[in-house]
Structure formats: C-alpha cells, structure tokens
C-alpha cells in the first residue's frame, strides 16, 4: 500500500497521507474547510456537519471521511456554503448566544465561522431555551446557554485530561452538557488548566476572573478571519 494519496479539493490537486481525513489533508495543503466539532488535538467526532463536503458527488463529513486516491472533493460551492450557513444559523437559534456580552467574543469559533460565512442574522426563529449555568466551581464557569454540543470538552476531558468530567444527558432538543458529579462542576476533578476548557470553541466553559485580559477588538478573530491561519 502506498503512503501517499492524490486527490482534488475544489479543483486543486493535493497529496495527502493515507489514513488522513479530508479535513486534515486540506489543512496540510493550506485549504480551510469550516468545522466546529473537529479539533486537531482530538479524535474526529463528526457531529456538527459544518465540515460537509461532497466527495465524488456525495455529501460527507470532511472531519471523519478518509482521503481516497483520485477523490474529487467539492467544498466552497454555493450549495455547500449554504448548507454550512444553515447549520451555523441553527446553532445560534438553538442556544442563547449574546455575543456583545460574551467574554469569548472575538475568540469564539461559532461567531467567527458565522462571520466567515457571511451570516448577518439567522433565517430561523430563536428558541430561547432555558438552560442552567453552573458557577459552583471556584475557577470555572459552565455557561450552558452558549453550548453547541460539539463534545470537544467531553472528548478532551476523557482523552487528554483523563477525568471524564463532562458528558451529555437527554435527547434531541433536551440534550445538554452535564458534569460527572451531583454537586455540579465543583464536585468534579475538572481544573481551569484542563484541555477541556482550552478546546471549547464558544464561551461555554470559561475560566473565572480573567475577563477582558485582551480587549475586545484585539482578539484572535478580530485580527484575522477564522481559517486564515491553518
């Protein structure tokens, strides 16, 4: 078996390593495919579908689909951009995302992805769900209103931190991020230095007492559009 695979993404021929996902191969070739649940330090998950591409004409999640010799991948087509827009808009209306008052603004991958996709306002009605905030931990706040159910914290806490402090409960619209202790986050072994916090793409899991350490307007995605450095 050969170690390298040639495929095309939006007409550009790239060489990937066998076993890589399309998302990984694209990143190595300097091609940005929008994504939210995927994180380069975590195992692929495939839940948000923001990375949807077409492979030989069929929709696939780029973060879980392995590269294949001769594959023709479409990513930045009007159809797929519209699919991603709809998915991101749904994430906005399914939670309570108040960007101007969120400490993550400017560093938030959901907000930055929306900007990159040209979303001005969601086409769907807001659902305004009632979600609990867990501020019991001395150093961490769990703000479920901003959760997009990407499972990065679940995976990082288990795969990297070795704590399994987070998981999901409920189904469908009732699905919520939960903590592994009846007493709430304070009852877990989660710490502010955990990978689970640093990989949260939104303002759901945040350190306490560090608000506005970097002024709004000078943050990661204030300076550069998401995907401009991959």
Minimum CB separation of residue 99 from ligand FES in Å reads: 21
The stretch among 36-44, 98-106, 154-162, 204-212 that binds ligand FES (CB under 6 A) is: 36-44
Contact letters for ligand FES, residues 59-98 (x by CB under 6 A): --x-x-----------------------------------
Strands ordered across the beta sheet of 205-207: 133-134, 140-143, 205-207
Binding residue (CB under 6 A) for ligand FES from 9, 31, 35, 116: 35
Strands (E), 32-131: 52-55, 58-61, 72-74
Minimum CB separation of residue 205 from ligand FES in Å reads: 18
Q: Which residues neighbour 38 within 8 Å (Cβ) at sequence distance 6 or greater?
A: 23, 44, 45, 51, 63
Collapsed DSSP state (helix, strand, coil) of residue 29: coil
Measured in residues, the chain has a length of: 230
Collapsed DSSP state (helix, strand, coil) of residue 6: strand
48 scored as a contact of ligand FES (CB under 6 A) = yes
Looking at the Cβ atoms of 113 and 158, the one nearer to ligand FES is 113
User: How many residues form the binding site for ligand FES (CB under 6 A)?
Assistant: 12
Binding residue (CB under 6 A) for ligand FES from 10, 28, 46, 167: 46
The stretch among 11-19, 34-42, 103-111, 183-191 that binds ligand FES (CB under 6 A) is: 34-42
Collapsed DSSP state (helix, strand, coil) of residue 66: strand
Q: Do 79 and 58 contact (CB within 8 A), yes or no?
A: no
Q: Which residues neighbour 32 within 8 Å (Cβ) at sequence distance 6 or greater?
A: 26, 226, 227, 228, 230
Looking at the Cβ atoms of 88 and 185, the one nearer to ligand FES is 88
List residues binding ligand FES (CB under 6 A): 35-38, 46-51, 61, 63
């Amino acid at each position: 078996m050969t170690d390298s695979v040639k495929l095309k993404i939006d007409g550009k021929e790239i060489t990937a390593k066998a076993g890589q996902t399309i998302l990984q191969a694209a990143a190595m070739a300097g091609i940005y495919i929008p994504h939210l649940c995927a994180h380069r330090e975590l195992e692929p998950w495939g839940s948000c579908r923001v990375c949807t591409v077409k492979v030989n004409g069929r929709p696939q999640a780029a973060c879980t689909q392995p590269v294949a010799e001769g594959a023709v991948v479409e990513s930045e087509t009007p159809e797929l951009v519209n699919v991603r827009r709809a998915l991101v808009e749904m994430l906005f209306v399914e939670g309570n995302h108040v960007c101007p008052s969120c400490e993550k603004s400017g560093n938030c991958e959901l907000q930055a992805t929306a900007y990159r996709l040209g979303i001005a306002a969601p086409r769907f009605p807001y659902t305004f769900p009632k979600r609990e905030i867990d501020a019991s931990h001395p150093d961490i706040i769990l703000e479920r209103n901003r959760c997009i159910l990407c499972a990065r914290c679940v995976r990082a806490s288990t795969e990297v931190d070795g704590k399994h402090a987070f998981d999901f409960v409920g189904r469908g619209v009732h699905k919520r991020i939960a903590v592994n202790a009846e007493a709430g986050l304070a009852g877990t072994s989660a710490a502010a230095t955990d990978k689970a916090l640093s990989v949260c793409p939104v303002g759901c899991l945040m350190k306490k007492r560090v608000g506005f350490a970097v002024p709004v307007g000078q943050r990661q995605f204030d300076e550069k559009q998401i995907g401009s450095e991959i």
